[in-house]
């Protein structure tokens, strides 16, 4: 499995990894009841009782009850929610909730009082649309046979639509139409970005941390384990409390980071999702124990975040989210091989778009900057993981190209391109942006004048998606970005000249 991590130093990472494998399970307190297992057992038991309950309710022979949910009271009462079929056809309005205690039905709540016995379920006289399904329709009316059709489309604001229409199978009359996609507007208290709006999915009376406006990208809880985890759900669509004491808080950050990354690529580059196919990626939080890293995996098309030191500094800031998901974009485009100079360019692409996404998000609690990981205290000293104006400030990264660049860890050879991008955007020397002071040097001690981030990011994206390949190294990155600048602004443009100058300032000629 190919994984691209954020790249904290090996020593720090291996300590965390050891902690994760060494103590998970070994420390385990008394096994809690697995709620998912308990629920599946309750549903299984309900299915076995369905026939008896059906008889107790006086349902006809062609009717079947299919359990969908079970709520258990402390006094032993089970509230079993059933859907119903008649002669194998789904009954719209056939659902009911049965309260059962000690094997006795103590109450029933029905969507419809209609009697289905004797309804003719054969030979509808109105022809169906090609993909229509025959159902029994008993919602707020006497039961009839009906066709259900589902029409998928996308609305103006990118929200998908799943229009269900029920048509009387005898008369052709429309009985009901509704949209199966429910965009709910939730709010969340995040770790790093303050109170944020979240687009979520309503499912029954609960909400899911799944964004129907952005390719259904969802956030799962790994509960300090691994695997797929479980989708975050919430009763009132207000998520998290801003600290690690509520497990949903890291989920809020991950959902917000994924949304801001989606919006950045969509609004700035016209790209619809990581693969440009409108499909959202899964994010998973609470991986392992005190795991101080985050990673993207192409094979699961998903993001995984650790909880950081003491499980209190989740790796879920906007720039880290965008950094990791940008590895997916690189993988879907240039495919820069993750070693040597191409690996440095791969890492730099993630830092560049991590930074530009953070600027684009315009979040007051995490303002845009040319720092990576300034929010997550990844080294425990409160300092950022990486600096783009002068990469060597981290003690390891390269400010300038040299013949040895291809032998340096990709998280440090990325410094050359990060520095290029900073110089191209902002220029050399001292500058304060959003309260952060920068001082960017040049290899030849000659000044560079920036062309602005808005142009620099477009040049890098165009080079990534139309010029770079798996084998691109620094010299080819220079010619690729020059070609991109020529495409966008003209071969004799100031922007083209600025690209040339910024590469020279990092010793790529
Ligand atoms: Ca809540
Ligand atoms: Ca920031
Ligand atoms: Ca940042
Ligand atoms: Zn990375």
Average pLDDT, consecutive stretches of 10 residues, N- to C-terminus, the chain (509 residues): 54 30 26 56 89 92 89 84 93 90 88 90 77 91 92 68 87 84 82 96 92 95 95 97 97 98 96 92 95 89 92 95 95 92 96 98 97 93 96 97 96 97 98 98 98 98 95 97 97 98 97
Catalytic one of 324, 358, 374, 495: 324
Which ligand has an atom closest to residue 368 CA?
Answer: 2
> Residue 368 Cα, ligand 3 centroid: separation in angstroms?
6
Instruction: Report the candidate in 53, 85, 79 with the shortest Cα–Cα distance to residue 66.
Output: 85
Let me know: does 422 contact 397? Beta carbons within 8 Å.
Answer: no
Which ligand has an atom closest to residue 188 CA?
Answer: 1
> Residue 243 Cα, ligand 3 centroid: separation in angstroms?
20
CA–CA distance, 286 with 117 (Å, rounded to integer): 51
| 381: CB partners within 8 A, 6+ apart | none
Let me know: does 305 contact 284? Beta carbons within 8 Å.
Answer: yes
What stretch of H or E contains 255? Answer: helix 248-269
* Cut 0.85: pTM above it: no
- Annotation marks residue 269 as catalytic: no
- Annotation marks residue 48 as catalytic: no
> Residue 317 Cα, ligand 2 centroid: separation in angstroms?
8
**Residues less than 5 Å from ion ligand 1, measured at CB:** 234, 236, 238
> Residue 309 Cα, ligand 4 centroid: separation in angstroms?
19
Let me know: does 78 contact 99? Beta carbons within 8 Å.
Answer: yes
Which ligand has an atom closest to residue 186 CA?
Answer: 1
**Residues less than 5 Å from ion ligand 4, measured at CB:** 4, 350
> Residue 78 Cα, ligand 1 centroid: separation in angstroms?
25
> Residue 186 Cα, ligand 1 centroid: separation in angstroms?
9
Which ligand has an atom closest to residue 367 CA?
Answer: 2
> Residue 202 Cα, ligand 1 centroid: separation in angstroms?
13
Question: In the CATH scheme, what architecture does the domain 35-110 have?
Answer: Roll (3.10)
Domain with CATH 3.10.170.10 in the chain: 1-32+201-316
CA dihedral 383, 358, 188, 379 (to 10 degrees): -20
Let me know: does 425 contact 456? Beta carbons within 8 Å.
Answer: yes
> Residue 432 Cα, ligand 4 centroid: separation in angstroms?
26
CA–CA distance, 152 with 146 (Å, rounded to integer): 20
Domain with CATH 1.10.390.10 in the chain: 326-509
Catalytic one of 78, 411, 419, 496: 411
Which ligand has an atom closest to residue 354 CA?
Answer: 3
Domain with CATH 3.10.450.490 in the chain: 35-110
CATH number of 1-32+201-316: 3.10.170.10
pLDDT at position 79: 85
Instruction: Report the candidate in 243, 261, 253 with the shortest Cα–Cα distance to residue 323.
Output: 261
What stretch of H or E contains 267? Answer: helix 248-269
How far is the CA of 370 from the CAs of 386, 421, 470, in angstroms? 9, 10, 26
Which ligand has an atom closest to residue 187 CA?
Answer: 1
Which ligand has an atom closest to residue 366 CA?
Answer: 2
> Residue 233 Cα, ligand 1 centroid: separation in angstroms?
9
| 379: CB partners within 8 A, 6+ apart | 8, 9, 12, 385
pLDDT at position 131: 85
The DSSP symbol for 497 reads: H
Question: In the CATH scheme, what architecture does the domain 326-509 have?
Answer: Orthogonal Bundle (1.10)
> Residue 270 Cα, ligand 2 centroid: separation in angstroms?
24
> Residue 361 Cα, ligand 2 centroid: separation in angstroms?
10
pLDDT at position 96: 87
> Residue 192 Cα, ligand 2 centroid: separation in angstroms?
9
Which ligand has an atom closest to residue 365 CA?
Answer: 2
> Residue 347 Cα, ligand 3 centroid: separation in angstroms?
15
Size (the chain), residues: 509
> Residue 175 Cα, ligand 3 centroid: separation in angstroms?
53
3-state secondary structure 370-439: CEECCCCCCCCCCCCCEECCCHHHHCCCCCCCCCCHHHCCHHHHHHHHHHHHHHHHHCCEEEEECCEEEE
> Residue 325 Cα, ligand 1 centroid: separation in angstroms?
27
């Amino acid at each position: 499995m190919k994984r691209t991590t954020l790249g904290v130093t090996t020593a720090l990472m291996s300590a965390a990894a050891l902690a994760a494998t060494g103590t998970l399970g070994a420390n385990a307190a008394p096994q809690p009841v697995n709620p998912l297992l308990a629920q599946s057992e309750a549903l299984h038991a309900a299915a076995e009782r369905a026939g008896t309950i059906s008889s107790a309710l006086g349902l006809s022979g062609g009717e079947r009850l299919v359990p969908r949910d079970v709520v258990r009271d402390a006094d032993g009462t089970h509230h079993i929610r059933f859907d119903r079929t008649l002669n194998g056809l789904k009954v719209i309005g056939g659902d009911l909730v049965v309260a059962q205690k000690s094997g006795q039905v103590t109450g029933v709540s029905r969507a419809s009082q209609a009697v289905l016995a004797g309804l003719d379920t054969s030979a509808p006289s109105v022809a169906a649309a090609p993909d229509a399904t025959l159902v029994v329709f008993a919602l707020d009316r006497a039961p009839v046979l009906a066709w259900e059709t589902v029409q998928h489309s996308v609305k103006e604001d990118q929200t998908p639509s799943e229009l269900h229409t029920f048509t009387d199978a005898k008369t052709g009359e429309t009985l009901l139409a509704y949209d199966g996609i429910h965009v709910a507007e939730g709010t969340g208290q995040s770790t790093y970005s303050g109170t944020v709006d979240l687009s979520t999915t309503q499912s029954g009376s609960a909400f899911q941390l799944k964004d129907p406006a952005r390719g259904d990208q969802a956030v799962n809880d790994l509960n300090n384990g691994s695997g797929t985890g479980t989708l975050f759900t919430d009763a009132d669509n207000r998520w998290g409390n801003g600290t690690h004491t509520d497990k949903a808080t890291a989920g809020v950050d991950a959902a917000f980071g994924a949304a801001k990354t989606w919006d950045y690529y969509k609004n700035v580059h016209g790209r619809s999702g990581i693969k440009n196919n409108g499909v959202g990626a899964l994010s998973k939080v609470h991986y392992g124990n005190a795991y101080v890293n985050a990673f993207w995996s192409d094979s699961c098309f998903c993001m995984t975040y650790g909880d950081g030191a003491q499980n209190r500094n989740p790796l879920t800031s906007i720039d880290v989210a965008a950094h990791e998901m940008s590895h997916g974009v690189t993988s879907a485009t240039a495919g820069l091989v993750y070693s040597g100079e191409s690996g440095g360019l791969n890492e730099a692409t993630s830092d560049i778009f991590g930074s530009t996404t953070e600027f684009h998000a315009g979040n007051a609690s995490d303002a845009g900057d040319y720092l990576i990981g300034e929010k997550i205290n990844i080294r425990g000293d409160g300092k950022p993981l990486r600096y783009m104006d002068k990469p060597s400030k981290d003690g390891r990264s390269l400010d300038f190209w040299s013949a040895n660049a291809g032998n340096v860890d990709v998280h440090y050879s990325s410094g050359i391109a990060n520095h290029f991008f900073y110089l191209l955007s902002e220029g050399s020397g001292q500058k304060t942006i959003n309260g952060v002071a920068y001082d960017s040097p040049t290899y030849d001690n000659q000044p560079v004048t920036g062309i602005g981030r808005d142009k620099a990011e477009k040049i890098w994206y165009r080079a990534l998606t139309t010029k770079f390949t798996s084998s691109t190294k620094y010299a080819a990155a220079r010619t690729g970005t020059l070609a991109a600048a020529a495409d966008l602004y003209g071969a004799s443009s100031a922007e083209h000249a600025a690209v040339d100058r910024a590469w020279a300032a990092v010793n790529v000629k």
